[in-house]
Amino acid sequence: MISRSKVYAYSFTTAFMVGCYLTACDPERQKRCEWYLVPNPKANNLMEPGWVSLCAANFELGRQKCLFTAKPEFVERFNGVPFKLSEMEYHEDIPRKITSITVCDPKGK
């Protein structure tokens, strides 16, 4: 007879494997075409002159990652354009200066 602890262990392992399969091991959905640049006016006073404070927002998850910055021309060009957070290039120092974004098709996800 199988002990109760083994059943729980198998159940947990199965649930974890199914969860990874369903989310493709990307729980924050950084590889999905669901991210948008949005302004972060609260931090604009902390930016260098000529730079705008930004967040990368995922409205599907209701999450955002902030501490990004870019020139206003860059922001205008990518306003309302979806991208994959995993393909956004930026400098690692804070604030993170965005260098490029690869645009994607949200229907293709």
**18 and 60 share one domain:** no
Q: What pLDDT is attached to residue 77? A: 93
Q: What pLDDT is attached to residue 10? A: 64
What does 41-69 look like in DSSP terms, one character per residue? GGGGGGSPTT-EEEEEEETTTTEEEEEEE
pLDDT of 13 > 90? The answer is no
Give the count of domains, the chain.
2
| 59-86 per-position pLDDT tens digit | 999 999 999 999 999 999 998 899 999 9
**36 and 73 share one domain:** yes
**91 and 45 share one domain:** yes
What is the distance between the alpha carbons of residues 26 and 78, in angstroms, rounded to a whole number?
Answer: 24
What is the distance between the alpha carbons of residues 102 and 31, in angstroms, rounded to a whole number?
Answer: 12
Q: Which domain holds residue 13?
A: 1-25
pLDDT of 22 > 60? The answer is no
pLDDT band at 97 (very low <50, low <70, confident <90, very high): very high
One-letter amino acid for residue 42 of the chain: K
For residue 28, give Cα distances in angstroms to 20, 25, 61, 81.
Answer: 12, 9, 8, 19
Percent of the chain with pLDDT over 90: 50
**46 and 89 share one domain:** yes
